[in-house]
Amino acid sequence: MQLEQILSPASCRCDLPGANKKRILKTASELVAVNLGELATDNIFDALMAREQLGSTGLGSGIAIPHCRVAQCQDILGALITLETAIDFDSLDGKPVDILFVLIVPELQHDEHIKTLAGLAELFNDEGFCEALRHTHDSEKLYKLAINY
């Protein structure tokens, strides 16, 4: 999986203030919606929140991969966000989250959804990658780090 296929410089943000899970998912929805048009923001947010109702997407070790399928989406899209201060995300290990990769997938791409999630989980299991993200404080550098890792 090549992150440059699903990320754009506009969908990477460093040190965002994240008061809570709901607020950061709203911000993430806005970042991804740039690629889909303004009307999609609410649909993305609603789909992300519905997915979180099924169970937290907080993997542990400060990482979350919120994900959902959206009808208006034609291609797999992502947003990479680091937070100024870690927030409670109901993660499996109980630790707060400071890195999020938001994944939006076309509604009918079930296999691609699973494959992309697996690739992201493997990538974010790399402690060196996560530490590099945590020490990057410029959104453009965050994007370049992600696509070149």
Domains of the chain: total: 1
67 flagged as catalytic: yes
Q: Which candidate in 67, 110, 113, 137 is catalytic?
A: 67
pLDDT class of 75 with cuts at 50, 70, 90:
confident
pLDDT class of 37 with cuts at 50, 70, 90:
low
This prediction has a pTM of 0.92
Average pLDDT over residues 9-21: 91
Q: Is the pLDDT of residue 143 over 90?
A: yes
In which domain, by residue range, is 20 found? 3-148
The CATH number covering residue 64 comes to 3.40.930.10
Q: 65: closest CA among 23, 110, 117, 2?
A: 117
pLDDT class of 44 with cuts at 50, 70, 90:
very high
Q: Is the pLDDT of residue 35 over 70?
A: no
